[in-house]
Structure 1
């Protein structure tokens, strides 16, 4: 966020318009965050119990989860320090989720009360630099809203289909926003990690503006018309040629983002797209081409599908205005907000308390 006041003004206009539409004014907000320095990763810890015949209780579970969290926190600080060249970056844990729990190799939803020797717990954590979080907290305060949560946007998108309990579900989620592309990898119903890089729809708009000699606003209109196949054949070819190089660069960014997830296991062949930039024809063409993936191991040839607003779990659009892939991310955040209103399970409660301890 480079202009907090400008963002606040834009948010106020949007909130007022939405409040008029539904006849209610909100008092809470969930904010999404994305960017190259927002890190999301699943950490797995194997824990050998000294007394395998005794039943697992809450204090023991709390101790294990805290060990997982501090181990993950130490890893991400070192990673950010290496990437930025700075000795130490002040980062904060923004959200976390239990991905997998196993006792002696058997998957369980709640380990309390079970016996066993070996416990394996996998937790997904998302972190962001403190400076980014401070800006979002200021925005919420200026809007007069209670900040319910700050969430990593790719985490919200990966959760929006309601696949947490579907152990057979695996997919790559790609959200192409204005400034960044967010990539999330889900294997066996669990979020393995997220990566982001700074190339999104604005870069494509700028390329059209430069190549076709027009201002940014005109180029944005042309890009949207191109995405909707509303240009003449000759003009369509000009735009396609102008964006060809950028699509290749974008594809190499996706390849780099996925490399670490293909080192030990095959990548999911299902690729789910959302975000305004995903509507560009060149994006889908690039993903289906043979120009990438030589360094990646896919289970099968990738299949591309778009996430549409009706696909988002628990959110019903009664306005009929949410029709685009760019509407999916805010709807995914709304779906995530519903988690705060439901009943919390034991495992979630232990994790939430561990997160609060680390955030304090």
Structure 2
């Protein structure tokens, strides 16, 4: 297996989407030639539909984006999941595709490149059957939000808030060096402080968290109609968080919002080694040939 590179949402876009291809002769059995033609149509249809929005999101011209990966994740006929679609009849073929587009200056020859946050959102979608949900990922300095729907996984937005905000607040409150503040936060998150210190640290944590909560609310409102019930909201952080956070409810207008822990082990290595890629190996080989035709420089 080639080395896997986890890129941020400002460097790459991995898009998961169900693409529907109507069949001209629904009563005829689906053969390999038709399947290959349908896959080519699906890749082009998806690529053509996302390249403008991806270039805008990544902040570069379309000419500076490379289509580096295309793979089949699933196939349905008339809404029914099929492992091997050859020989089936039906009106409509539906292909779940994952396309990855990377900024030219982030491309690395010979490595598998993915937008890590989108892949982790997909792994949650896979477990929940693509039920409506929100996936929130927090790093050192930024938060990224993804939306999961029955149609696929899509990027929502990104805003400046990460663990650095928490350690900065601790540093300012206690007048300590940054490394000391980081150690204090980690002990607090791990429950390794006295009750007196915990209460003071909790206040700092939740006061600083208010900016994060507001950013998440703005992101969710931009993605969906919040007049309806809120979908499950999954939270993944690349740093420890106090245990009580997942039990706490936060105000969202007249609703209450709760962050659910994301599935353990949801990472891009899990996705890259998924047996589904072997199941659709022949189609994936074709998909890789098609992206070279669409974008030879990739």
Mark the CA change 1:80 to 1:203 in structure 2 (over 3 Å): closer, same or farther: farther
Quote the offset at 1:285 in angstroms: 6.2
TM-score between the two structures when normalised by the length of structure 2: 0.75
Tell me the equivalent position of 1:289: 250
Q: Deviations over 1:264-293 (max 9, x none)?
A: 99787444433334514685466x212x26
Quote the offset at 1:99 in angstroms: 5.3
2-structure distance, mates of 1:203, 1:35: 20
Tell me the equivalent position of 2:186: 224
Q: Report the 3-state secondary structure (helix = DSSP H, G, I; strand = E; otherwise coil) of the residue aligned with 2:172.
A: helix
1-structure distance, mates of 2:262, 2:15: 23
Tell me the equivalent position of 1:63: 37
Q: 2:120 aligns with which of 147, 157, 170?
A: 157
CA contact (8 A) 1:180 1:196 kept: no
Quote the offset at 1:339 in angstroms: 3.7
CA contact (8 A) 1:92 1:130 kept: yes
Quote the offset at 1:84 in angstroms: 6.5
Q: Report the 3-state secondary structure (helix = DSSP H, G, I; strand = E; otherwise coil) of the residue aligned with 1:116.
A: coil
TM-score between the two structures when normalised by the length of structure 1: 0.64
Matches within 5 A, 1:99-178: 101-134=75-108, 147=111, 149-158=112-121, 164=126, 167=129, 171-178=133-140
Quote the offset at 1:224 in angstroms: 0.6
Q: Report the 3-state secondary structure (helix = DSSP H, G, I; strand = E; otherwise coil) of the residue aligned with 1:230.
A: coil
2-structure distance, mates of 1:94, 1:165: 26
Tell me the equivalent position of 1:214: 176
Tell me the equivalent position of 1:192: 153
Unaligned runs of 5+ in 2: none
Q: Which runs of 4+ in 1 moved over 6 A?
A: 264-268
Tell me the equivalent position of 2:202: 240
CA contact (8 A) 2:14 2:114 kept: no
Unaligned runs of 5+ in 1: 1-26, 138-145, 313-327
Does 1:335 find its partner at 2:270?
Answer: yes
Quote the offset at 1:100 in angstroms: 5.2
Going by fraction, where is strand more abundant, 1 or 2? 2
2-structure distance, mates of 1:132, 1:334: 19
Q: Report the 3-state secondary structure (helix = DSSP H, G, I; strand = E; otherwise coil) of the residue aligned with 2:3.
A: strand
Mark the CA change 1:255 to 1:302 in structure 2 (over 3 Å): closer, same or farther: closer
Q: Deviations over 1:126-152 (max 9, x none)?
A: 433222234xx5xxxxxxxx63x1222
Relative contact order (C-alpha < 8 Å, sep 6+): which is higher? Answer: 2
Quote the offset at 1:257 in angstroms: 3.9
Q: 1:53 aligns with which of 27, 32, 37?
A: 27
Mark the CA change 1:39 to 1:212 in structure 2 (over 3 Å): closer, same or farther: farther
Matches within 5 A, 1:8-19: none
Q: Report the 3-state secondary structure (helix = DSSP H, G, I; strand = E; otherwise coil) of the residue aligned with 1:179.
A: coil
Tell me the equivalent position of 1:38: 12
Mark the CA change 1:103 to 1:182 in structure 2 (over 3 Å): closer, same or farther: same
The count of aligned residue pairs is 294
